[in-house]
Structure 1
Amino acid sequence: MADTATRTMIRTRGHRFQALFGNRPSSGTRHPLVATAMVLPLAALLVVVFGGWDAVVTQASSVGVMLGR
């Protein structure tokens, strides 16, 4: 009986979380600018921490070429 009550509480909290923060689009995609805004701070932190500016430039150029097709 207690196991069922615990599952119900967890499920209720999940529904509350979805109600607060909304659902993602059903297709599961984001706008490219939103994705870029999410990734850039982490990328900048990794560049500073690991000093990998050359690797970042190489990857960015290859992504640019891929998107330019």
Structure 2
Amino acid sequence: MADIAGRTAHRSPGRAQAHQVLDALGDRPSATRHPLIAAAMVLPLAALLAVVFGGWDAVVTQASSVAGLLGH
């Protein structure tokens, strides 16, 4: 058992250094971000890309199809 505990406690130097850099910059990602916050971050970019690349009609068509399936 002691051998297993010793191996699991070892971290690779590159990974530890990356965590130190992220901690110093304050940019360490949060594993507990709320899904609504994530959606609020992504949806404006998704809408912008849809408009820029001309996919807005496809987005509207898919949204209306999903709404029809849901009965709204």
Q: Which has more radius of gyration?
A: 2
TM-score normalised according to structure 2 size: 0.47
TM-score scaled to structure 1, two decimals? 0.49
